[in-house]
Structure 1
Amino acid sequence: MASETQGIQQLLAAEKKASEKVSEARKCKARKLKAAKEEAKGIIEKCKCEEEQKFKESEKMILGSRNDVKTRMDKHQEDVIKKLAQEATENKDKVIQRILELVCDVKPELHINYKTT
């Protein structure tokens, strides 16, 4: 009976060792999985930054920088204002003369609805 007890104890000890090894293997697997996830996140971030940089460079090349666009718009606006001011100055006398002609050159006419009785 002592040998049976000793055999059972050996089996229990072996079972305990096996469960410890399985537990250790699961922990190791979890650590490796966590490390792989962290590495993947790092790679994804790196790729995302690279692609974002490429996009910004191509956007800048195609559209120009925002400052360039603003500068061009401001210059165009100034040019249009100068052109309108110049045209107004050039045509000022003609417009005044035309207004005076229309106001001073009155041609009396009867209204079309006026009926003579």
Structure 2
Amino acid sequence: MGSQSQGTQQLLQAEKRAAEKVSQACKRKNRRLKQAIEAAQAEIEEYCLQREKEFKIKEAAALGSHGSCSTEVEKETQEKMTILQTYFRQNRDEVLDNLLAFVCDIQPEIHENYHING
């Protein structure tokens, strides 16, 4: 009986050591998993920063060309405005005279659809 008790004790000790080894293995696994997650996060952040930098460069290039287009359009608009103002000054008196002539030159007429009863 003593050997059975001793065998049981050895089995219990072996089971306890196995449980400790499993526990340590789980802790190591969790630690490695945590390190892998941290490394992946760092890599993701680095990638995002790189892509953001590339985007800013492309955006600046696009806006730079857009800015020059905008100045060209502004310049053309100013030129056209100057031309239109010149035409306005040249033709203002003539247009006003024609307009006043049309408004003031009234010639009363009977409308063609008007019928006198009787």
CA 53–65 in structure 1, closer or farther in 2 if over 3 Å, else same: farther
Instruction: List aligned pairs for 1:14-25, cutoff 5 A.
Output: 14-25=14-25
TM-score (norm 1): 0.74
Q: CA deviation at 1:61?
A: 1.6
Q: CA deviation at 1:65?
A: 7.2
Q: CA deviation at 1:31?
A: 1.2
Task: Give the aligned length.
Answer: 116
Structure 2 CA distance for aligned equivalents of residues 86 and 31 of structure 1: 81
Is it true that 1:75 corresponds to 2:74 in the alignment?
Answer: yes
Is it true that 1:60 corresponds to 2:60 in the alignment?
Answer: yes
Q: CA deviation at 1:40?
A: 0.7
Q: CA deviation at 1:84?
A: 4.0
Deviation string 1:52-78 (CA, Å, 9 cap, x unpaired) is: 221232233234377x37963883596
**Identity over aligned residues, as a percent?**
41
Match of 1:99 in 2: 99
CA RMSD of aligned residues (A): 3.0
Deviation string 1:11-45 (CA, Å, 9 cap, x unpaired) is: 21111011101011011101111111121111112
Structure 1 window deviating more from structure 2 (86-95 vs 5-14): it is 86-95
Q: For structure 1, list consecutive stretches of 5 or more residues without a partner in the other structure.
A: none
Q: For structure 2, list consecutive stretches of 5 or more residues without a partner in the other structure.
A: none
Structure 2 CA distance for aligned equivalents of residues 110 and 63 of structure 1: 66
Secondary structure at 1:64 match in 2: helix
Structure 2 CA distance for aligned equivalents of residues 47 and 37 of structure 1: 15
